[in-house]
Structure 1
Amino acid sequence: MATWFLIVIYLAFISLGLPDSLLGAAWPVIWPEIGSSVGSAGFISMIIAAGTIVSSLASGKMIQKMGTGNITLFSCLLTAISLIGFSMAPSMIWFMILAVPLGLGAGAVDAALNYYVAANYQAHHMNWLHCFWGVGATMGPIIMAGYIADQNFWRGGYAAVGVIQFVLVIVLLITLPLWKRVAALRETTPTAMTDNETKSEIRIPGNVLRLRGVKPSLLAFLLYCGVETTVGLWGSSYLVGTKSISAEMAAGWISLYYGGITFGRFITGFISLRVHNRLLIRYGQWTTILGGLLLLLPLPSSFSVAGFILIGLGLAPIYPGLLHETPARFGRENSVKLMGYQMAVAYSGTTLLPPLFGFLAAKTSTDSFPVLVLVLLIFMLFSAETVNRILLRSQNMGR
C-alpha cells in the first residue's frame, strides 16, 4: 500500500511539472499571435507565482480541513481547466486571468507533499519525487515543440497537456481512499529517524524565522526558484533572439534543460544513499556556474545546449536537498510551518526574478540573459554556503 501511495505522489508531481515549462517553450510564437510583447510572459509568470504564494501560505489550514488527498485532486483539476483555457485564450488578458487558478492549484499541494516526504522518507525519495516533477517539465516542451512544428499550432500543445492533466485527475480520484488508509497506517507505525536528522527537536517560542540559518536558507530558496524559472521561461527567447535558432529547435533544446534536471535527480537519488545532501547541493551549484559560463562565453550555438544541460544537471540536487534538510537543520516540529514559508519565498523568487529579465530584454536585447543567470547562480551559492557556516558554528558552540 505504501508503494502505491508513493506512485500516486509521483504522479501528482508530474502534474505539477507539466505546465511549468509550457509558457517559455511556446512564448516566441504565442506573443505575436495574441498581439502582446516578448516581455509580457514575465507578467503571466508573476501572476502564476503569486497564486502559489497565497495557497502555499494557507496550506497548513487547508490540509487540516481538506486533507492532502483532496488538495492534490483539486489542484490537478484546477490546473487541467486552466490549461484548456490557455488553448482557447484569444488575448493577453485571458492569459492573465487563467494564470490565477493555475497558480492557486500548485501552491498548497506542493507544500503539503514536500513536507510529508521530508518528514517521513529518506533523501533519495525526495530526489525521485522532484525527478517526477522534471518528467512533467521535460514532457511539456517536447509536446509543445511537436505542435509548433505543425504550423505553429501552440494551442494544440496546451490542449494536449490539459487532457493529460484530466487523465491524472481521474487517477487521483480513483485512488483517493488510499490517502486516508495509508495515513492511518503510518499513524500506527512509528517512523524511523533518518541518519541525517537531529536526535533532539529544535524548538523556539514564537517565530521560526528567528532560528539560526533560516533567513539565508530562505534566500537560497528564492534564488533557486528564480533562476530555475528564468532559464526555463526565457531560454527559448534567448536562443531565438541572440543565437538565431528556430522556435521549434529552441523549444526542443529547452526540453534538454528540463531533461538535465530530471535525469540529475534520478541519479542523485542513488548518490544520496552515500553522499550527504550538503555536498550534493554544493557540487550542484558549481556545476550550474560552469553551465552559466558556457552560455556567457562567445562560443558556437552547440555550446549553449551544453550550458543549458549543465545548468539543469547542477540544479537537480539543490532544491530537493534543501527541502529534505529542513527537519534535520531546524527540527521536525518547526519544519511544518517552515515548509510553507519556504514554498512562499521560493515562489516569490519565481514571481520577482523572471520579470527582471523581461524588463532588461525589452530595454536592451536578449543578450543579457547569460549575465543575469550567472549572477543569480553566484548569489545562490553564497547564500547556501552561509547557511552551512552558521549551522556549523552553532554545532561547535553547542559542544
Structure 2
Amino acid sequence: MQDKGEDQNSVEGDVSRYYRDRAAPRAGARGDPRMWAAFGLFFVLAFAFASWLPRLPELKRAFGMSEGDVGFVLLAMPVAQLCVIPLVAFGSVRLRLRTLNLICITWLLVAIALVGLATSSVSLAIVVFLIGAGTGSTGVAINAAGFAAEEAMGRPILSRCHAMYSVGLAAGGLTAGLMAAADVPIIVHLTMTNIVLLAVLLVIVRAVVDTRKPEDDAPKFAWPKGALLIPGLIAMGSLMAEGVSVDWSSIYLSEVINAPTALVGAGVAAFSGAMAVMRFAGDWVSERVPPRLIVGGGAVLSAAGYAITAIAPNAAVAFAGLILVGFGLAPIVPLAFRIAGKLSPNAPGIGVAAVSTLGYAGFLLGPPLVGLVAEASSLRLSLGAVSGMLILVTLISFRLSTKAAN
C-alpha cells in the first residue's frame, strides 16, 4: 500500500501534469467571465494596496518619522495579518466565495481610505493595522477564488491572476505617484480611488466561482505544517522580498537615490510591470519546467536584482535592479499557492490559508524589518540583506524538488 508520504509527493509532483491531463478547455474560454472575475479581484486588491504606498514619504515627512518609526508603523500590518488569516480559513469553507471576497475587499478599501485621516504616527499605525487585516484576509479570499476558477475551467490561470495583481500594483503605484506630484490631498486621492474600485468590485464579484464545500470536520484555523510547510516557507521568502520592493522602493528612490518626485512611484511600477510580464507566461512555464528550477532560478535572479538595487548609483540602475527582482519572483508564489490548493483538494481555502499564513507574514514582516536594519545601518545595506535571504529560498527549493519528483 502506498504510504501517506508517497501520496503527498505524487500530488506535488503532478501539479504541472494535472492540467495537461484535464479535458481541453471549451471554446471561448479566453472570454470566460469566471476567469476575468478572478483577474479583477487580484487587480482591485493590488491597485488599492499600491495607491497609498507612494504617499508614504509624504506622511513620513509630515509626521517627522525616521526609518525606524516607519518600520514600527509597518509592523502593525503583519500583526493584524497573523491574527486574521487563520480565521479566514474558517470562513473560506463556510461562506460562499462571493460573500467572502466582497466582505474582505470592502474592509480593505475602507481601511486604505482612512490613511488620509491619520494625524500622527500613532493614528497611522492604527490605520495600517486595519489595512493589514484587510490585506491578509483578502489575500486568502482571492487565491481561493482563483484556484476555484482553475478547477471549474479545467485550465491553469493562477499565475495570470498574480500577473493581474502585478498590473494592479504598477497602475496603482503610477497613479499615486502622479497624484503626489500634483499635490492632490491624500484623503481626496484615496477616497475617490477606492469609490471607483468598490464600483468595479460590485460588478465583477457576480461572476466569481461561487462554490462552497462545507466540511463538518474542517479545521477552524489554518497553520502551515506537514506537506504545506515547504511551499509555505518558499512563499514566505518570496513575498518578503516582494513586500520590501513594494513598501520601500518609493522611499529608497526618494531619499537615497534622490529621484524626481514623478519617478518615485515608478519604482513600484517597474518592479510590478516585470512581474506582470513574467506571470502572464507563468501558467505555460509551470506545465513545462520542474518546480525546483522555477523556484531556485527565480530566487537567484531576484537576489541579483536586489544586489544591483542596493549598490545603484542612480535611478536608472535602481530601476534595472527592481526589474530583475520582479522577473525572478514572478512565478514562485503562484506555484506555491497552486501546490497548497492541490494538497487540500476538499477545502482549498484551508491549504491556501495555511501557506498564506507564512507567505503574507513574510510580505508584511519584511518591510518593517528592513526599516529596523536601515535605522541601525543604512537602507542600502538592508536591501542587500534581502538578497542573501533569497539565496535561502533557493536552498529550500531543493527540498521542494525532491517532493515533486516524478
Corresponding residue for 1:95?
A: 124
Matched, 1:59 2:92: no
Instruction: Indicate conservation of the 8 Å contact 2:38/2:146, yes or no.
Output: no
Classify the secondary structure of the residue corresponding to 1:332.
Answer: coil
Q: Deviations over 1:72-122 (max 9, x none)?
A: 111121122112211232222222222233222233342244245446266
Q: Which amino acid aligns with 2:338?
A: H
In the superposition, the TM-score normalised over structure 1's length comes to 0.81
User: CA, structure 1 residues 242+5, in 2 after alignment: closer, same or farther (shift >3 Å)?
Assistant: same
Distance in 2 (alpha carbons) for counterparts of 1:58 and 1:134: 26
C-alpha contact (below 8 Å) 2:140/2:352 kept by paired residues: yes
1:343 to 330, 333, 356: 356
Contact (CA 8 Å) 1:29, 1:154: kept in 2 or not?
no
Q: Which residue of 2 aligns with 1:359?
A: 372
- Preserved CA contact (<8 Å) 2:344 2:350: no
The residue aligned with 2:171 is 139
- Give the aligned length: 367
Distance in 2 (alpha carbons) for counterparts of 1:8 and 1:209: 28
Q: Does 1:215 align with 2:247?
A: no
1:252 maps to 2:280: no
Counterpart in 1 of 2:71?
42
Q: What's the offset of the Cα at 1:14?
A: 1.3
Q: 1:44 to 1:109 in 2, by over 3 A?
A: same
Alpha carbons 2:308, 2:317 under 8 Å: kept: yes
Decide whether the 8 Å contact of 1:77 with 1:165 is kept in 2: no
For residues 252-275 of structure 1, the C-alpha deviation after alignment (integer angstroms, 9 at most, x for no partner) is 232111111122211323433543
Q: What is the TM-score of this pair, normalised by structure 2?
A: 0.80
Task: Identify the residue that residue 203 of structure 2 maps to in structure 1.
Answer: 171
**Secondary structure at 1:75's aligned position in 2?**
helix
Contact 2:306–2:321 at 8 Å: present in 1 too? yes
Q: What is residue 159 of structure 1 aligned with on the other side?
A: 191
**Matching residue within 183, 190, 194 for 2:211:** 183
Paired position in structure 2 for 1:304:
318
Match status 1:6 vs 2:35: yes
Match of residue 85 from structure 1: 114
SS of 1:66's partner is coil
| Residue in 1 that maps onto 2:17 | none
Using the TM superposition, name which of 123-132 and 331-340 deviates more.
331-340
SS where residue 151 of structure 1 aligns?
A: coil
| Structure 2 partner of 1:16 | 45
Cα RMSD between the aligned structures?
A: 3.0
Using the alignment, how far apart are the partners of 1:276 and 1:345 within structure 2?
Answer: 23
Change (3 A) 1:167 1:282: same
Once residues 344 and 247 of structure 2 are traced to their aligned partners in structure 1, the CA distance between those partners, rounded to angstroms, is 35
- Which of 295, 298, 314 aligns to 1:284? It is 298
Q: CA deviation at 1:148?
A: 1.3
d(CA) in 1 for partners of 2:382 and 2:250? 11
Q: CA deviation at 1:130?
A: 0.8
> CA deviation digits over 1:167-196, x for unaligned, max 9?
234325xx54x557x539x99xxxxxxxxx
Q: Does 1:25 align with 2:25?
A: no
The offset of 1:335, in angstroms, is 5.4
8 Å CA contact retained: 1:277, 1:325: no
Q: Quote the offset at 1:218 in angstroms.
A: 2.2
Q: 1:319 aligns with which of 320, 333, 353?
A: 333
Determine if the alignment matches structure 1 residue 227 to structure 2 residue 259: no
> Gaps (5+ residues) in structure 2?
1-27, 215-221
Q: Distance in 2 between matches of 1:152 and 1:369?
A: 32
Gaps of 5+ in 1: 188-206
SS in 2 for 1:26: helix
Q: Distance in 2 between matches of 1:230 and 1:166?
A: 27
Contact map agreement 1:24 1:235 (CA 8 A) in 2? no
Structure 1 SS opposite 2:75: helix
Q: Does the residue aligned with 2:157 lie in a helix, a strand or coil?
A: helix
